[in-house]
Amino acid sequence: MEPKFKAAIVKLVLNGKAETALELLAQHYGVNTPKIKVGLPKGRKKKTLGCYNANKKTIFVLNSDTLKEPFIILHEFYHHLRTAVDAKHKGSEKHANKFAKEFIQAYKSMATKALGNN
C-alpha cells in the first residue's frame, strides 16, 4: 500500500477526522465502514482505550480524546477488517498492533521528509 495513503489516514485521525479516515480505509479495503462510538461497552476495563464489537460492527473508544489516537483507531479497524473477511477470525493483537504501527511509521517518514525539504 502506498505510504502517502497511510500517512494521510494518520493525519486525518490526528486532526479529529476519524470517521473520514475509517470511510477511506473501508473503501480502500472493500469492506463496510465501521461505526464509531465514544464510550466503552459495559464490562470493559477502565484502562481499555478502545475495542471492536463484531456483532455491532462498531469501534468503541474510551473518550473523545481517543478519537484522535491513530494507533487505537487503526488497531480497532484491523479487527473490523479481519471480521469482515472471516467472522470467526478477529485477528491477533500482535497483527493489529503491526497494522497500526505501519501506518504511523509511514506518517513519521513522510513528516521527516517534509521537514528535510525546508
Answer whether residue 89 is part of any domain: yes
For residue 100, is pLDDT > 80?
yes
Query: Running DSSP on this structure, what letter comes out for residue 64?
Result: G
Answer whether residue 116 is part of any domain: no
Answer whether residue 101 is part of any domain: yes
State pLDDT tens for residues 12-40: 999 999 999 999 999 999 999 999 999 99
CATH code of 71's domain: 3.30.2010
> Using 50, 70 and 90 to split pLDDT, how confident is the model at 91?
low
Query: Domain span at residue 77?
Result: 3-111
Asked whether the whole model's pTM tops 0.85, one would answer: yes
Answer whether residue 117 is part of any domain: no
Domains held by the chain: number: 1
State pLDDT tens for residues 45-72: 768 899 999 999 999 999 999 999 999 9
Query: Which pLDDT score is estimated for 85?
Result: 74
